[in-house]
Amino acid sequence: MDQLSTEELASKLHSNLLPKHVAIIMDGNGRWAESRHLPRIAGHREGIKSVREIVQACSDLGIQALTIYAFSQENWNRPSHEVSALMDLLEYFLAEERTNLIEQGVRFRTIGRLEDLPPSAIQWVRDTEQATAHLDKLHLTVALSYGGRTEIVDAVRKILRDAQERKLQPDEVDEALVQQHLYTQGLPDPDLLIRTSGETRISNFLLWQLAYTELYFTPTLWPDFRHREFFLALLEYQRRERRFGRVLSGTISS
């Protein structure tokens, strides 16, 4: 595969074997910048180009949903100047990309505790969600001020409120009910999770939704993750046999 061009890799993709929903932990922006003796924010700016390319690739390939981990709840612990720069970068991205998203038929939505964001960032997010709400070629979900455990806690709180209001019985609580109260309600679970930069953990991302997701880890830093690297991940996904806990005919369960 290393010798093949991006175009040759693309030709090996089979539309019927592509994931419907791809989730990405975009890691390595800071290391990319530091390796070039640049400020960390320069890596985040370069990472926007990768977001743009992967959104375009998903749209072109007919992938239905893309969810990206942009800012975790733990990221609030970073230096205040970096957090401020990231919020400014979020607003810049939405200002620059809103028209492109609409032209590509991309519906933009966010998950997480959005109330933690600065008011101006919240306004940009809400305006972009509203402007793209009618689109459905690709569902782009951006996790902001997000934590997987927090999502589950918030879901439990909603269920308890429902229980108080309509006398929900314990036996009525099942997986479907929990899913209805998650931030990602209405989206299918990811088929493929990609994490860049060489780290091999999921870092509190989509803890419920990743139960049967295929995991793909690459040493490539996020700003260098473009069409070619994405196609390699998709080709690896196509080679995997997804059993969802079942034993397929002719196989022995491990």
Strands 65-72 and 138-146, sheet pairing: parallel
The DSSP string of 25-45 is E---HHHHHHTTT--HHHHHH
The domains of the chain are located at 18-239
Query: How far apart are alpha carbons 150 and 246 in whole angstroms?
Result: 30
Could you confirm whether 75 is annotated as catalytic? Answer: yes
* pLDDT tens-digit profile, the chain (254 residues): 778 999 999 999 999 999 999 999 999 999 999 999 999 999 999 999 999 999 999 999 999 999 999 999 999 999 999 999 999 999 999 999 999 999 999 999 999 999 999 999 999 999 999 999 999 999 999 999 999 999 999 999 999 998 888 878 889 999 999 999 999 999 999 999 999 999 999 999 999 999 999 999 999 999 999 999 999 999 999 999 876 666 555 444 43
- At residue 1, the pLDDT reads 76
27 tagged catalytic = yes
Rounded distance, CA 36 to CA 15, Å? 38
Question: Coil, strand, or helix at residue 203?
Answer: coil
pLDDT value, residue 242? 74
Catalytic residue among 16, 60, 75, 171: 75
pLDDT value for 254: 39
Looking at residue 2, what is its pLDDT?
A: 72
Q: How far apart are CA 236 and CA 171, in angstroms?
A: 40
Dihedral Cα 180, 149, 112, 90, nearest 10 deg: -140
The whole-angstrom separation of Cα 72 and Cα 27 is 12
How confident is the model at residue 246, as a pLDDT?
A: 64
At position 218, the amino acid (one-letter code) is T
Thinking of the domain 18-239, which architecture would CATH place it in?
A: 3-Layer(aba) Sandwich (3.40)
3-state SS string for 169-187? CHHHCCHHHHHHCCCCCCC
